[in-house]
Amino acid sequence: MKLIDFLTFEPLDTVRRKMGAQLVEYEPLSKWTPLTPVEVQQLATGGIDVTLDDVKVLPDHTLEYKGQRVVLYIRDVASYQRHDVDMPKFHVADCSTLATMRERGRFNRYVVASRHDGKFEVNIKKSWGGFKKDEATLCICQNCLNKLGWDGFGYGMAQKSKQDIVSQFLLSNFFKKYPSSVIQSRPRYSDYDAPLNEYTTDFAEVAAEYKVQCGWKCEECGLELSSHRRFLHAHHVNALKHDNSRENMRMVCLGCHANEPSHSHMKNTLDYKAFIQLFGKR
């Protein structure tokens, strides 16, 4: 059976005209090449060198690399820049600083990353030559905060108010508001091959390893629980209990866990009452 050409079928075209609908060509939001497994690892741990054409600007002004929302920063720094004040800022939006770097032909100094913990892999250039790899805590670019209006940030604010927003900025909160993946795709599984949404047999072991990695601290509020370990939970961000990837699992205290969507039932447990007595509400 031959299908109707809906662009020329008069009855439908008449309805379209009455509705005022325009015929336009579909153009994808972003043309991208999927990340390789190696690139996924590099984004999550260190950074990937990019060119100007590699990084796309999304309609919300955030930055994309191959379908992933990313952070830009300068990885190679001089030894005298080790003081936090001197270190380059990292960028989460297409701000005026990046525009200036493009104009000056210095954009290719940047690398992209998607690490959520606020740590950045840097190469410290030694005075006698060569580089030494290290990790640094960088500050968010204020021009980016202004571009996004993050927490109401604006240059007309009092200096202290601006500094408070800068000091309280967390990449984990940024990626919660602007998810890492910008690709709207079909579900990974169908109705006949989807795994049961239940904990894997190695869940306890994997979760214990992650808790050690984060120093027994809640990745939401920072509460340290090494002396009260039963109150640190492993939360599956996408609600898929069989997905134990580090990106999908956040180590959170019982108080923060109970505040997650569909987790309020935890507030009726004896453990929650004991937690509140010790640490208060989160």
* Phi, psi for residue 53 in degrees, rounded to 5: -75, -15
Burial 242-272 (b: 16+ CB within 10 A, else e): ebbeebbbbbbbbbbbbbbeeeeebeeeeeb
Q: 136 forms bridges with which residues in the sheet?
A: 120
The dihedral built from the CA positions of residue 221, 227, 229 and 234, taken in this order, carries a sign that is positive
Give the whole-angstrom CA distance, residue 79 versus residue 114: 25
Query: For the chain, how far is it from start to end, CA to CA, in angstroms?
Result: 62
pLDDT in 10s for each residue of the chain, 282 residues = 566 666 677 777 777 777 766 665 544 444 556 777 788 777 877 778 877 778 889 888 999 988 888 999 888 877 655 555 568 899 999 999 888 887 877 656 688 888 888 888 888 877 676 778 888 888 999 999 999 999 889 888 899 999 999 999 999 999 888 888 775 444 455 444 556 667 888 999 999 999 999 999 999 999 999 999 999 999 998 778 888 888 889 999 999 999 988 788 899 999 999 999 999 988
Angle at 206 between CA 205 and CA 211, to 5 degrees: 100
Tokens in use for 252?
């959170």
Tokens in use for 262?
């569909």
Give the whole-angstrom CA distance, residue 53 versus residue 265: 48
Q: Are the C-beta atoms of 25 and 18 separated by less than 8 Å?
A: no
Q: 232-239: long-range contacts at Cβ-Cβ below 8 A with a sequence spacing of 24 or more?
A: 233/257, 234/203, 234/206, 234/207, 234/210, 235/260, 239/197
Which H or E run contains 17? helix 10-19
Q: So what's the pLDDT on residue 143?
A: 94
Best CA proximity match to 257, nearest among 276, 277, 278: 276
Which residue in this structure is represented by tokens 């894997």?
A: 200
Q: So what's the pLDDT on residue 260?
A: 86
Q: Are the C-beta atoms of 103 and 92 separated by less than 8 Å?
A: no
Q: So what's the pLDDT on residue 76?
A: 80
Q: So what's the pLDDT on residue 185?
A: 41
